[in-house]
Amino acid sequence: MRPVTPPAAPPTPTLRGAHVTLRPYGAGFSDDELRTLYGWARDDEVLALAGGLPLTLDFEHFKALFLAQLPRHNGPHEQLFVILDAAGELVGRAGLYRLDPPLHRAELGIVIGRRDRWAQGIGRDTVRTLVRYGVEDLGLTRIVLFTYPSNERAQRAFVGAGFRKVRTVRRFSLEMGAHDVIEMVWEAVANTSQ
């Protein structure tokens, strides 16, 4: 008897928002795009809003590790995208993590790496586009995200995309020690017009 192989998942689509295009990680990266991502991973101001410590790897090691991880970034547990603006310029990255199909939920993450593009609606458009994809294509009914209390600009973008503040959560990491994050949630019941 032949083992039954489940059907392959369809490829992750490229998503289009009002002002952004979200290209799946699985579509690949040019060296220039990888250098841009590498730069953001070493930018203290970007990392202060996104969390984490500056990357200490040299570019070639970063590239090798990043490319080795690509196959898992558009699969059953996460859907990751680069954010391209209307001109096709790489301005950030975003995705849905911890996908839980039986419970119809996921966690959303976003980083606008290009500081000169902050406060221009790119984050809000990206979040709306990811929520639409999560609901229409993945069947999600609940999407959660976490942000720092000091990142008020992001919080406004998230509220504008239909999220609401739920609570402040105390966390601990080796990089930051004890710190607070705000948990925000989007739920289909509360956002039937989305």
Report the range of poorest mean pLDDT among 12-16, 29-33, 163-167, 180-184.
180-184
pLDDT for 130 equals 94
- Tokens 């969390």, located at residue: 51
Cα dist from 54 to 30, 45, 130, 183, whole Å: 22, 10, 27, 24
Convert the pLDDT of each residue in 22-80 to its tens digit.
999 888 889 999 999 888 888 777 776 777 667 788 899 889 988 888 877 777 788 89
pLDDT at 6 over 60: no
pLDDT at 125 over 90: yes
Pair 149, 168: CB distance under 8 Å? yes
pLDDT for 160 equals 87
- Domain 18-189 in CATH 3.40.630.30? The answer is yes
Convert the pLDDT of each residue in 91-113 to its tens digit.
999 999 898 877 888 989 898 88
Domain definitions of the chain by residue range = 18-189
DSSP single-letter state for residue 103:
G
Pair 118, 137: CB distance under 8 Å? no
C-alpha triplet 19, 25, 28: angle, nearest 5°: 105
Specify the 3-state DSSP secondary structure of 154. Answer: helix
pLDDT for 72 equals 77
- Mean pLDDT value across the chain: 83
pLDDT for 2 equals 60
